[in-house]
Amino acid sequence: MGFLAGKRALVTGIASDRSIAWGIAQAMQREGAELALTYPNERLKERVEKFAGACGAQVVLPCDVSTDESIDELFVQLGKHWDYFDILVHSIAYAPKEQLEGDFLENITRDGFRIAHDISSYSLTALAKGARQLMSGRNGAIVTLSYLGAERAMPNYNIMGLAKASLEANVKYLAYTLGEEGTRVNAVSAGPIRTLAAAGISDFRRMLEKVEQSAPLRKNVSTEEVGNAAAFLCSDLASGITGEILYVDAGYNIVG
């Protein structure tokens, strides 16, 4: 029996078979969880439905985290299928592409700042707010995805570094707030992985090369490795862990 047997997990952020959320969904399914998936727009609907078929998810619902209406509707619709659930996976980030390259000060705009923080950090708060009732009192767990650029200035990551710093603070405040209800909140800080979101970051290839050369394990991590860690964090095996940022980066954060 898997370590997530009997748990229900809502997974956001699957956009392709390279998505970190897909690695997480596969690990959670393997460990016995029942899944529901979301898609952000009509363009991705069919694709996410295929992924749902592949991981046995019976519930597939729209959710664009840029509006409260869409988030409210997600939980109304989810409530028709599930009267409770245990796990929320937040694997969502966005910033306009021109904000993710070159001179940070030259390229940053008020609007770029707002969008990056809204979609990449506030969306976690908003989803946690919407999920609160359905998750309360179940030893539930929320997990999100961060990156080392939250703590260190890195070339091209720019505005997303600020948004990830906000996301990590968000994890701690949510953990503090939801702890009394038995819900734990953690982040996985993943090493670079070539996904659709990563394609928006200028010179991403250099980041991959640097990790491969200098990380203690001399390799880049896979979505499977990130998925396994996220599944663990959301399981009862991690019942003593909350407010934590867990590095799954082949050890890169300890060097340099």
- Are the C-beta atoms of residues 62 and 36 closer than 8 Å to each other? no
66 vs 202, beta carbon nearer ligand 0WD: 66
Is 247 part of the annotated catalytic residue set? no
66 vs 177, beta carbon nearer ligand 0WD: 66
Of 35, 193, 229, 231, the one binding ligand 0WD by CB under 6 A? 193
64 near ligand 0WD (CB under 6 A): yes
Contacts of 129 (CB under 8 A, 6+ apart): none
187 near ligand 0WD (CB under 6 A): no
- Per DSSP bridges, beta strands 87-90 and 245-248 are unpaired
145 near ligand 0WD (CB under 6 A): yes
Choose the binding region for ligand 0WD from 1-9, 151-159, 193-201, 237-245 (rule: CB under 6 A).
193-201
Q: Which of 39, 157, 247, 252 is catalytic?
A: 157
119 vs 250, beta carbon nearer ligand 0WD: 119
Q: Which pairs from 206-211 meet CB under 8 Å and 24+ separation? A: 206/155, 207/154, 211/249, 211/250, 211/252
Is 176 part of the annotated catalytic residue set? no
Residue found under tokens 């095996």: 237
- Residues of span 22-61 touching ligand 0WD by CB under 6 A: 40
3-state secondary structure of 221: coil
Nearest residue to 121 (alpha-carbon basis) of 86, 159, 69, 152: 159
Would you name the residues annotated as active-site residues? 147, 157
